[in-house]
Structure 1
Amino acid sequence: MSNNGHNIEKTNFDAFINAVGSEIQQAQVRLITAANAQMLFHYWKMGNYILYHQQLHGWGSKTIKQLAKAIRLNFPEKKGYSERNLTYMCQFARTYPLRVLQNFIETDAKLIAPSVKKIEDEVHYLNDSQFTQEPLAQIQSTGNKEITITQEPLAQIHNVAKTVSDIYRMEIKDIENVFMASPVAKTNWASHVIMLNSSLPLGVSYWYMKQSVEMGWSSNVLKIQIETNLYSRQISNNKVNNFTVTLPAPQSDLANYLLKDPYIFDLAGTKEKADERDIEEQLVKHVTRYLLEMGNGFAFVARQKHFQIGNSDFFADLILYSIPLHAYIVVELKATPFKPEYAGQLNFYINVVDDKLRGENDNKTIGLLLCKGKDEVVAQYALTGYDQPIGISDYQLSKAIPENLKSALPSIEEVEEELTSFLDKDKNP
């Protein structure tokens, strides 16, 4: 065989190895995801099982404490059944009965193309609806007598599936299918505990659950987003923009949905009265956390992008690219409250980026003006008459986010590094 033929064979074999390595990596992710969903389903069944027997037998508040102790004594190798975790399992089952899971699935179907109004309507519907565990509520209590948990009821844990099937009068496989199809099954347990502790309305919990899955948030990131009230900042707050008159309907809805007000940036070390350049430098330095706050699908393009227009030099503060919008985003930072002339300056940069960077497959460039406060009436008036899409948001500088803040999903570089390491080990056992 010629060297050329040998090289082709080696190239083909390397491509084959890469494909196999990719499949193994993906299989590991699928296995972990499936294991997480099965664990959640088990916790949900356990919660239903405990609630059922509490109501059926009138067991008092010490039931969970006694059950945790009995499991610890009889199954010392089993972890995750502390009194605290069993209490969360009951809360988990009570918060997400079968009817709620089914409504979540129906809501998923309605929100394939998200918009602020559609999300608000569905969240309000979930918040206002009275979901109760009717089969559990029909069980008559026999008094509030305490019992001692023994091996006998402990052994009944193996019949949890049958008990849950009896509660909902459905085959356990059908119940499992509903659970697995809901967003509840796609969120890790630590994140569920955070949401249960936050006492969020049902619809708002649903929204955070969906965001957590779509954005790949770790439980730490989810906690921060809840604490900084992301739902209000992205959905329920009144936003100032002209998207409806400058963008076609599908894109204007999406742009308005992706816009937040205010933005909260973690800029540890920034001076209290930082100017625009200080803030820009910190945002670029901590670009990962910056893009996390911007949202899903934003890529960093440039900072202080130079444009020579005529005989003058201009520098755009920040340029991003939004993958969902297929559009460049020009960001102008102001360390002062909004002034009408800021909109004119941003409109100029949008025109320049449209002319110099925008390709034939890119949608209209969008401008985002970030200010240290604004009069919403003045800001809305200032946008009247502009043909370019512009959004105006406040921003706040926060130093509360810990340094180890990190998304649950690895970066592309980390995945490539792990895959290369895996392939190297395979080649050199």
Structure 2
Amino acid sequence: MSKDKIHKADKQDLSLVVRAIGTDLEHTQVRMITSANADMLFHYWKVGHFILYLQKKEGWGSKVIDNLSKAIRSQYPDKKGYSTRNLIYMCQFAKAYSMEVLTEMGKVEELLNSPSVDNVLQLTNELNQFTQEPLAQIQATDIQGNIITQQPIAQLGEISEMLSAIYHSNISKIEDIFKQSAIVRTNWASHVILLNSKLPLGERFWYITQAVTNGWSSNVLQMQIETNLFARQITAKKVSNFSVRLPKPQSDLANYLMKDPYIFDMMGQTDKMAERDVERQLVSHITKYLLEMGSGFAFVAQQKHFEVGDSDFYADLILYNIQLHAYVVIELKATPFKPEYMGQFNFYINVVDDALRGEHNNNTIGLLLCNGGDKVVAQYALSGYDQPIGVSDYQLSKAIPENLKSALPTVEEVEEELSKIVDKNI
């Protein structure tokens, strides 16, 4: 082998090693951040329990939180996060997630392994039963002694011992249960938003899992709560024929991912926007659009041209969903639903299914978005059509923040799925 070839091979090996080290470093940094977040949340949880204990001893009218905040900030002026307001949140955090609640969360979380509306409703109903006040569960223990006569800072060192006595278990077991729960997978800012929301435990837990799955920032989480995503995705009476046109579990997943209504962020919107205007806005703000569509959606085309016979046709929007392994055709109507919309839409789904779907893709799904309409009429109109179709309302708003982040599919994930299509030139 020539020296040039050896040198080239060495450079390639070096490049591979550098890339491997970089990838491992990135993964290590993520694990370090995740671990640090779990440690911080566990500390806040312990402090919250400590406050509950002191309040029970001194009465709810005491100024335990104010005194504790002043003492910590006085002795540790460089430590942030111990304001009276944040200590109150720590107290609420501990009350909201007792050991009993954390244990139950671990039991029901497996229901989300196969996401469906029925599974989520079962999960939320089971968790909503935990309405008892955690403070009442804290029994008098042999810690009582002279704990109140000590300075609050000195008492902080005894939080672990106190928790062990309260839950009749060693602190390492308590920590394991806490850090294996879903609540450590999101940050403190998101927990504060959830505590302020006053949502029941089951819905709060669902929002936590969604924030983790979709990579929501705290701003996006706030927006999803304000637009009542749980009601729009889980409890809404959806109109579709998925259950009869798609096999399980794809039908369950399609129904789970569907929302009603969809809420799209529009810049410079007017009361009467034509379909093309709405499309143009959605495509120009595609990240926000995909965020509202939900997990696993990727943009494929707008006004996709298809030549059928001697005629030209244009599909409004085409997406691809990695979880469903299927193309999704979106048709937008700026008017309320009309039964006559179904024939044309079914035709477009047939064309896209025939032109784009490869052997590794599931049946193409249609989603007709209308600006209002009668749900009963829409459900009747679906009968007789072979393609899987859902019909939803959509609303236009400016609710979505500019600085959002979401776990949209990566370019590599999209390319991997699309590479399986038989005819890439269509």
TM-score (norm 2): 0.92
Q: C-alpha separation between the residues in 2 aligned to 1:8 and 1:284?
A: 44
Query: 2:403 pairs with 402, 405, 418, which one?
Result: 405
Confirm or deny that 1:88 pairs with 2:89. yes
* TM-superposition CA deviations, 1:304-351 (whole Å, max 9, x none): 000000000000000000000000000000000001111211111111
Distance 1:351 1:410, change over 3 A: closer
Structure 1 residue aligned with 2:264: 265
Deviates more, 1:404-413 or 1:39-48: 404-413
Instruction: Write out per-residue CA displacement over residues 207-227 of structure 1, whole angstroms, 9 at most, x where no aligned residue.
Output: 000000110000000000000
Instruction: Show the 5 A alignment for 1:216-295.
Output: 216-295=215-294
Residue 410 (structure 1) shift:
9.3
1:194 maps to what in 2? 193
Q: Secondary structure at the match of 1:340?
A: coil
Change (3 A) 1:61 1:290: farther
Q: AA paired with 2:5?
A: N
Identity, % of aligned positions: 58
Q: Relative to structure 1, is the Cα distance of residues 153 and 271 closer, same or farther in structure 2, using a 3 angstrom cutoff? A: closer
Deviation (angstroms), 1:412: 5.3
Encode CA deviations 1:3-22: one digit per residue, 9 max, x unaligned: 22221221121011101101
Task: Give the structure 2 partner of residue 385 of structure 1.
Answer: 384
Counterpart contact for 1:47–1:90, Cα < 8 Å? yes
**Structure 2 counterpart SS, 1:191:** helix
Could you tell which deviates more after superposition, 56-65 or 25-34? 56-65
The answer on 1:184 being equivalent to 2:183 is yes
CA RMSD of aligned residues (A): 2.0
Name the residue aligned to 2:144. Answer: none
- Correspondence list, 1:27-426, <5 A: 27-58=28-59, 60-133=61-134, 136-139=137-140, 152-402=151-401, 404-407=402-405
> Structure 1: how far apart are the matches of 2:39 and 2:351?
52
**Counterpart of 2:79 in structure 1: which amino acid?**
K
User: Shift of the alpha carbon at 1:57?
Assistant: 4.0
The match for 2:415 is: none
CA distance in 1, matches of 2:272, 2:210: 33
Instruction: Name the SS for the 1:249 alignment partner.
Output: coil
Asked whether the 8 Å contact 1:261–1:394 carries over to 2, the reply is yes
Give the superposition deviation at 1:134: 7.1
Aligned to 2:424: none
8 Å CA contact 1:92–1:196 kept in 2: the answer is: yes
Q: Which residue of 1 aligns with 2:423?
A: none
Q: Which amino acid aligns with 2:403?
A: L
Task: Determine the structure 1 residue equivalent to 2:18.
Answer: 17
Q: Deviations over 1:340-393 (max 9, x none)?
A: 111211111111111100010000000000000120100000001111100000
- Residues 99 and 131 of structure 1 are in contact (CA less than 8 Å); yes or no, is this contact kept in structure 2? no
- How far apart, CA to CA, are the structure 2 residues paired with 1:87 and 1:191? 15
Counterpart CA distance in 2 for 1:7 and 1:282 is 49
Q: 1:286 Cα deviation (Å)? A: 0.1
> What one-letter code is carried by the residue in structure 2 that aligns with 1:233?
R
Change (3 A) 1:115 1:267: same
TM superposition shift of 1:408: 6.0
Taking a change above 3 Å as real, the CA distance of residues 153 and 129 of structure 1, as seen in their structure-2 partners, is closer
Structure 2 contact 115–253 (Cα < 8 Å) conserved: yes
User: Does the Cα contact within 8 Å between 2:295 and 2:407 map onto a contact in 1?
Assistant: no
TM-score, normalized by length of structure 1? 0.91
Q: 1:316 to 1:118 in 2, by over 3 A?
A: same
Do 1:291 and 1:298's aligned partners in 2 also have CA atoms closer than 8 Å? yes
- Equivalent pairs, count: 406
Q: Is the 8 A contact 2:326 2:362 kept in 1?
A: yes
**Aligned 8 A contact 2:50 2:159 in 1:** yes
